[in-house]
């Protein structure tokens, strides 16, 4: 009888995830009983719908859901409840980042990424998921990862193997041969192509079905060139209209939304006209695009703070010259054009492109959004109710209301007066579990 031979890559992944499970099991909380009750006594609560600060509020959490929210004295506190004193804090819904790459890091930009294996990316993702959760982001949309590492990470978090945010994931981003979402750093003798590459309507149809087959919740498509890639132009659209239309129609038919990476004006307009659900980056957005996005309720997911961090740290990262040339042109243009889009009332959902800069610094995006014209409340709504709407999860996350997941964070100070307090989250609850509590009292996951 012939002995079975394992594919080395498959065997490596099996061993890797066994190790991750063993390490994380020491940190991950036991599943909460359905009837376990936790009470948060909040000094202030931010009502993100109305933009009001409510004083002296009690939140009752049963299992993973919010059971009651109201003024102290009007909400019955069960006698068997665990009570957390947040009387010095302002509580608000867990934040949502609609554009992350948890399995990537800034030190792997350009040629250094070629030496990064799929198992290594998975472990990077495990670390960054925890950093992101501890920073107060209890939900993320992860839009582009190699080897379906984002799918594995999402599933591990859902299984309780390791701490991290709720994840909506895309798997490999879809792109054209030689485009932003292809791999253009290797010479031709390698004949290498990124996993999401497809050309022509029939091929893109199969690719949409393929990434969904392997676990994608959302379809990420590269509608234009990008900045952190070789040989493409951010201002030029990539998929043709018939290709892009097939992607959107098939994704929507199968119940998935479409996020379109798009810098250039032509690509933004094309993507919006064929029905994508969000424009990522939008660096060269103009008045016509804003009007069309308002009409069709297509969200702009600007990724702004990354320009500050990237330009400051690029010298020590050894960024290739072809990337720096594009960055010096695109990043300042994005600030100017997005400021105008904010003034015109484009629908906005919060996103960071974390991986271009270190994970855990996501909340620095708020200050840039406010600097470019949003009010603190509008910036916070972009990371709560508007992000939840774009996800299709308005019934689950985005507000502190009975029946929603108990995804709750707390900060000292008033984020409507100083949005930068969101960079210093001191309490994190996700699904009724307390992962961080700097105000004193128990936590269920060590740091």
Nearest of 380, 297, 283, 383 to residue 341 by alpha carbon: 283
Find out whether 137 and 96 touch, Cβ atoms under 8 Å. Answer: yes
Range 177-192 average pLDDT: 91
Q: pLDDT grade, residue 443 (50/70/90)?
A: low
For 369, other C-beta atoms within 10 Å of its C-beta total: 24
Mean residue pLDDT across the chain: 92
Bridging pattern class, strands 52-62 and 65-71: antiparallel
Supply the residues annotated as catalytic: 220, 353
Range 291-298 average pLDDT: 98
Domain covering 37-94+400-437, topology: Urease, subunit C; domain 1 (2.30.40)
- Kindly report, as residue ranges, where domains of CATH 2.30.40.10 are found in the chain: 37-94+400-437
The yes or no reply on domain 95-391 and CATH 3.20.20.140 is yes
CA distances from 312 to 59, 268, 306, 324 (A): 42, 28, 10, 12
Question: What per-residue confidence (pLDDT) applies to 408?
Answer: 98
Structure confidence by residue, pLDDT tens digits, 306-365: 999 999 999 999 899 999 999 999 999 999 999 999 999 999 999 999 999 999 999 999
Question: What per-residue confidence (pLDDT) applies to 10?
Answer: 42
Question: What per-residue confidence (pLDDT) applies to 17?
Answer: 47
Range 411-419 average pLDDT: 97
Indicate the pTM of the whole model: 0.91
Range 41-48 average pLDDT: 98
CA distances from 33 to 61, 431, 436 (A): 12, 12, 20
Please indicate whether residue 446 or residue 198 has the higher confidence score (pLDDT).
Answer: 198
Find out whether 38 and 85 touch, Cβ atoms under 8 Å. Answer: no
Would you say residue 32 has pLDDT above 60?
no
Please indicate whether residue 79 or residue 61 has the higher confidence score (pLDDT).
Answer: 61
Question: What per-residue confidence (pLDDT) applies to 35?
Answer: 76
Question: What per-residue confidence (pLDDT) applies to 9?
Answer: 46
Range 174-186 average pLDDT: 93
Structure confidence by residue, pLDDT tens digits, 93-132: 999 999 999 999 999 998 988 888 999 999 999 999 999 9
Question: What per-residue confidence (pLDDT) applies to 16?
Answer: 44
Structure confidence by residue, pLDDT tens digits, 138-151: 999 999 999 999 99
Question: What per-residue confidence (pLDDT) applies to 184?
Answer: 87
Range 194-206 average pLDDT: 97
Question: What per-residue confidence (pLDDT) applies to 397?
Answer: 98
Question: What per-residue confidence (pLDDT) applies to 191?
Answer: 87
- Kindly report, as residue ranges, where domains of CATH 3.20.20.140 are found in the chain: 95-391
Q: CA angle, corner 99, sides to 411 and 348, nearest 5?
A: 75
Q: pLDDT grade, residue 12 (50/70/90)?
A: very low
Find out whether 139 and 393 touch, Cβ atoms under 8 Å. Answer: yes
Please indicate whether residue 416 or residue 24 has the higher confidence score (pLDDT).
Answer: 416
Question: What per-residue confidence (pLDDT) applies to 26?
Answer: 39
Would you say residue 3 has pLDDT above 50?
no
Q: Which two tokens stand for residue 331?
A: 């990043």
Structure confidence by residue, pLDDT tens digits, 378-392: 999 999 999 999 999
């Amino acid at each position: 009888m012939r002995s079975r031979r394992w594919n080395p890559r498959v065997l490596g992944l099996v061993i890797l995830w066994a190790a991750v499970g063993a390490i994380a099991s020491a940190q991950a909380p036991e599943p909460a009983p359905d009837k376990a009750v936790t009470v948060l006594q909040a000094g202030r609560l931010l009502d993100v719908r109305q933009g009001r600060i409510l004083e002296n509020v009690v939140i009752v959490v049963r299992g993973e859901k919010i059971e009651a929210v109201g003024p102290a004295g009007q909400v019955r506190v069960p006698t068997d409840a665990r009570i957390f004193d947040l009387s010095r804090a302002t509580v608000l819904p867990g934040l949502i980042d609609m554009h992350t790459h948890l399995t990537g890091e800034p030190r792997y930009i350009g040629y250094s990424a070629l030496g990064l294996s799929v198992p290594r990316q998975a472990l990077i993702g495990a670390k960054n998921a925890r950093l992101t959760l501890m920073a107060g982001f209890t939900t993320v949309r992860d839009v582009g990862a190699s080897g379906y590492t984002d799918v594995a990470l999402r599933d591990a978090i859902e299984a309780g193997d390791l701490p991290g945010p709720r994840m909506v994931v895309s798997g490999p981003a879809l792109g054209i041969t030689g485009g932003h979402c292809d791999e253009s750093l290797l010479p031709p003798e390698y004949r290498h192509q990124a996993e999401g590459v497809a050309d022509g309507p029939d091929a893109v149809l199969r690719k949409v079905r393929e990434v969904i087959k392997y676990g994608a919740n959302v379809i990420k498509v590269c509608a234009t060139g990008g900045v952190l890639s070789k040989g493409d132009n951010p201002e030029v659209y990539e998929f043709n209209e018939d290709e892009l239309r097939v992607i959107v129609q098939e994704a929507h038919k199968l119940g998935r939304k479409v996020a379109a990476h798009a810098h250039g004006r032509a690509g933004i307009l094309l993507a919006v006209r064929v029905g994508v659900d969000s424009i990522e980056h939008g660096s060269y957005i103009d008045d016509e695009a804003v009007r069309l996005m308002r009409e069709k309720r297509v969200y702009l997911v600007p990724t702004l703070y990354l320009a500050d961090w990237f330009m400051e740290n690029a010298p020590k990262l050894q960024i290739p010259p072809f990337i720096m040339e594009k960055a010096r042109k695109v990043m300042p243009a994005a600030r100017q054009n997005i400021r105008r889009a904010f003034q015109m009332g484009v629908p906005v959902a919060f996103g960071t492109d974390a991986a271009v800069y270190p994970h855990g610094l996501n909340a620095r995006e708020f200050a840039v959004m406010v600097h470019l014209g949003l009010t603190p409340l509008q910036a916070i709504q972009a990371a709560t109710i508007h992000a939840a709407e774009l996800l299709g999860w308005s019934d689950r996350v985005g507000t502190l209301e009975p029946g929603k997941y108990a995804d709750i964070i707390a900060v000292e100070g008033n984020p409507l007066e100083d949005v930068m307090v969101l960079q210093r989250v001191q309490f994190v609850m996700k699904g009724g579990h307390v992962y961080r509590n700097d105000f004193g009292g128990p936590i269920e996951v060590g740091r």
